[in-house]
Structure 1
Amino acid sequence: MDYYFSHSLVKAFLTAWRDACKARGRASFVIPKGTYLLNPIVFTGPCRALITFELKGTLLAPINNPSSDTTWINFRYLDRLTVNGGGTLDGHGASAWGRKSGNPLLMGMGFAFVNNTNVNNINSINSQNAHISMFQCENITLSRLTISAPSHSPNTDGIKMAKSKGINIKNVHIATGDDCIAMITGTKNVNISNVYCGPGHGISIGSFGSNTDEFDIQDISVKSCTFNGTSHGLRIKTWPSALNHPLKASNIVYEDITIIDVDHPINIDQEYCPDNKCGNKVSSGVKISNVSYRNVRGTCKGDVAINFKCSASNPCQNISLENIDLERRGHHHRKKPLKNLCSNVHGASHGKQQPAACF
Structure 2
Amino acid sequence: MGAKFLFVLSLLVCIAEAHRQIQNKLFNVINYGARSDGNTDNSAAFLKAWSDACRWSGKGKATVLIPQGTYMLKEVVFSGPCNAWMNFHIEGLLKAPSDPYSFKNGDWINFRYVNKLTVGGGGILYGQGSSAWKTNDCKKNSNCRSLPITMKFDFITNGYVHDMHSIDSKQSHFVLFGCENMLLRGLKITAPKDSPNTDGIKIGMSKGINISSVNIGTGDDCIAMLSGTRNVRISDVFCGPGHGISVGSLGGNEGEEDIDDIVVKNCTFNGTSNGVRIKSWESQLKKTLVVSNFTYEDIVMNNVQNPIVIDQDYCSHPPCIKKGVSSVQISNVAYKNIRGSGNTKVAASFECSQNKPCQNIRMENINLWPSGHSKKLNNVCLFVKGATYGTQNPPSCIK
TM-score (norm. length: structure 2): 0.87
Q: CA deviation at 1:11?
A: 1.1
Is the counterpart of residue 167 in structure 1 residue 209 in structure 2? yes
Aligned to 1:300: 342
Aligned to 2:189: 147
* Correspondence list, 1:307-318, <5 A: 307-318=349-360
Distance 2:319 2:209 in 1: 33
Is the counterpart of residue 49 in structure 1 residue 84 in structure 2? yes
In structure 1, runs of 5+ residues without a counterpart are none
Q: CA deviation at 1:5?
A: 2.5
* 3-state SS of paired residue (1:245): coil
Deviations along 1:273-328, whole A, 9 cap, x unmatched?
A: 11224324521000000000000000110100000000000000000000000000
Distance 2:65 2:79 in 1: 16
Distance 1:76 1:182 in 2: 21
The one-letter amino acid of 1:345's match is V
The one-letter amino acid of 1:144's match is G
Aligned counterpart in structure 2 of residue 16 of structure 1, from 49, 61, 78? 49
The one-letter amino acid of 1:13's match is F
Aligned to 1:31: 66
In structure 2, runs of 5+ residues without a counterpart are 1-35, 138-143
Is the counterpart of residue 74 in structure 1 residue 107 in structure 2? no
The one-letter amino acid of 1:227's match is F
Alpha carbons 1:40, 1:71 under 8 Å: kept: yes
* 3-state SS of paired residue (1:215): coil
Aligned to 1:273: 315
Distance 1:280 1:151 in 2: 29
Aligned to 1:3: 37
Alpha carbons 2:283, 2:322 under 8 Å: kept: no
Is the counterpart of residue 95 in structure 1 residue 131 in structure 2? yes
Is the counterpart of residue 348 in structure 1 residue 384 in structure 2? no
Distance 1:279 1:99 in 2: 25
Aligned-residue sequence identity (percent) comes to 51
Deviations along 1:29-68, whole A, 9 cap, x unmatched?
A: 0011111111000000000011110000000111114231
Higher share of residues assigned helix: 2
TM-score (norm. length: structure 1): 0.96
Distance 1:32 1:21 in 2: 19
Is the counterpart of residue 188 in structure 1 residue 230 in structure 2? yes
Q: Which shifted more, 62-71 or 199-208?
A: 62-71
Distance 1:280 1:201 in 2: 23
Alpha carbons 1:64, 1:103 under 8 Å: kept: no
Change (3 A) 1:103 1:301: closer
Alpha carbons 1:71, 1:106 under 8 Å: kept: yes
The one-letter amino acid of 1:344's match is F
The one-letter amino acid of 2:73's match is L
For the aligned residue pairs, the C-alpha RMSD in angstroms reads 1.4
Q: CA deviation at 1:329?
A: 1.2
Distance 2:173 2:322 in 1: 34
Distance 1:312 1:278 in 2: 18
Distance 1:88 1:78 in 2: 22
The one-letter amino acid of 1:5's match is N
Q: CA deviation at 1:3?
A: 2.5
Aligned counterpart in structure 2 of residue 109 of structure 1, from 127, 148, 151? 151
* Correspondence list, 1:242-261, <5 A: 242-261=284-303
Alpha carbons 2:309, 2:349 under 8 Å: kept: yes
Alpha carbons 1:68, 1:104 under 8 Å: kept: no
Distance 1:110 1:100 in 2: 20
Distance 2:130 2:364 in 1: 42
* Correspondence list, 1:56-67, <5 A: 56-65=91-100, 66-67=102-103
Aligned residues: 354
Aligned counterpart in structure 1 of residue 164 of structure 2, from 101, 122, 125? 122
Alpha carbons 2:284, 2:323 under 8 Å: kept: no
Q: CA deviation at 1:126?
A: 0.4
Q: CA deviation at 1:105?
A: 1.8
Distance 2:279 2:136 in 1: 27
Alpha carbons 2:38, 2:95 under 8 Å: kept: no
Distance 1:241 1:251 in 2: 23
* Correspondence list, 1:180-259, <5 A: 180-259=222-301
